[in-house]
A = this chain, B = another copy of it.
Amino acid sequence: MAVGLSEPDDILPVAGIKLASVAAGIKKSGSNDLVVFLFDEDATCAATFTQNAFCAAPVTLAKKHLSLRQSSQLHPRALLINSGNANAGTGDRGLKNAEQSCRWLAEALHISTEQVLPFSTGVIGEQLPMSVMQSGILDIATNLDEDNWLSAATGIMTTDTIAKAVSKTIALDGQKITISGIAKGSGMICPNMATMLAFIATDADIEADFLQRCLSTVVEDSFNAITVDGDTSTNDACVIVATAAAKNKQLDTSSPEAEMFAQTLNEVCQQLAQAIVRDAEGATKFVTVEVTQADSIDEAKNVAYTISHSPLVKTALFASDPNWGRILAAVGRAGIEQLDISGVNIYLDDVRIVKRGGVDEDYTEEKGQNVMNQEEILIKVELGRGEHSAQIWTSDLSHEYVRINSEYRS
């Protein structure tokens, strides 16, 4: 069902990173469900995590392990990711299970437990199957290789129908630098300061603070700008590793190429984030919601999210029905203080439907229908209040969405 998305066929390996994926037996389907990244000693790591108060055990532990970077010399060396079980809502036992899993991997790789960052995705509220985890981890540790990116992208999938990966190369300090990333997610998608699961690696040498700042910034305009169902997951995480294997002069805020690197990272993250929406549960449409002329970015985002979360707008999109009254109603209920509706224009692609708060005299149902028939649609709202804008990517609400989510656990 993925909209305008095909299997990735050109994921470039990143010097300094080895990875692997196996079918440990966590998923009932027998698909790959365990993934490990191992990175060189010189690597630098940055991450963002979910803001959900009920964050999962692996999120709690990964944050703790990551925080040891400053106080000790325990830099992260490995990522341990399982799909099929979120290890969320699992209390103390869930936390101990996450810790034990890290310990098993650390022993197999001859590193410290604190150097492993754990990630989980899948059903909430069930304990990890620990004997399956143990044998899977022992197995996977012997299979690490530079070329396993596609199988890793597949191993982190849950209800995803297609693997999501992006690679780009740039020149830094005369060196060719690679950035590769994988992501998963198609339901419970409304990341808040983070994303479902995304893992990005580069062989560039990048100063740690700059890397974290860079990631936090681009995540705002990529993973934090998508929504499928408005449901922020308990397990969202986005990690970037810079291995320094390319031996470029270390990149930091003052580097002339800093801006270009951030721009490229932004492209990678936006493409991965959009891939998640294109593969959203039951999606038949890929929709860009753009709100301009707002008083503030928050106001623009609020209106964009209100449109994106409206079940009535989403079902109209599914039906390819230019029922623009539902968009107008969503703008009207977004809670903007003293909105002057006579300043509001609404477009479907280039077709202006609403002009100064009422139907555009040139609008015809046929024009609207032509846009709605497309697989990719732009909903644009001009608020006529200011100079701020925001862009959100979202999907429609289909019978397939209801089917997937009413049958997910069975």
Contacts and interface: CB of A to CB of B under 8 A. Distances in A.
A406 B318 contact: yes
How many protomers of this protein does the assembly include?
2
Contacts of A90: 358-359
Contact of A333 (B232, B321, B354, B405): B232
Most buried by B among A53, A88, A319, A330: A53
B329 A230 contact: no
A89 B354 contact: yes
Main secondary structure of the interface of A (DSSP, over half): loop
Contacts of A329: 52, 54, 88, 124, 188, 231-234
Contacts of A339: 53
B52 A231 contact: no
Query: In which size bucket is the chain A interface?
Result: 35 or more
Interface stretch (A97-105, A202-210, A255-263, A304-312): A304-312
A316 interface: yes
A91 B229 contact: no
A84 to B, nearest CB: 14
Contacts of A328: 54, 88-89, 124-125, 234
A331 interface: yes
Contact of A406 (B89, B94, B315): B315
Interface stretch (A20-28, A129-137, A394-402): A394-402
Residue among A230, A312, A359 with the highest chain B CB neighbour number at 10 A: A312
Interface in A79-128: 86, 88-92, 94, 123-125
Given A232-B329, A402-B402, 8 more contacts: A53-B339, A88-B328, A94-B358, A124-B328, A232-B332, A233-B329, A318-B406, A399-B402
23 contacts: A52-B329, A52-B332, A53-B331, A53-B341, A54-B329, A54-B331, A55-B332, A90-B359, A92-B358, A124-B323, A125-B324, A125-B328, A230-B310, A231-B330, A232-B329, A309-B309, A311-B405, A315-B406, A318-B406, A319-B405, A319-B406, A319-B407, A399-B399
Interface of A: 51-55, 86, 88-92, 94, 123-125, 187-188, 190, 192, 229-234, 309-312, 315-316, 318-319, 321, 323-326, 328-333, 336, 339, 341, 354, 357-359, 397-399, 401-403, 405-410
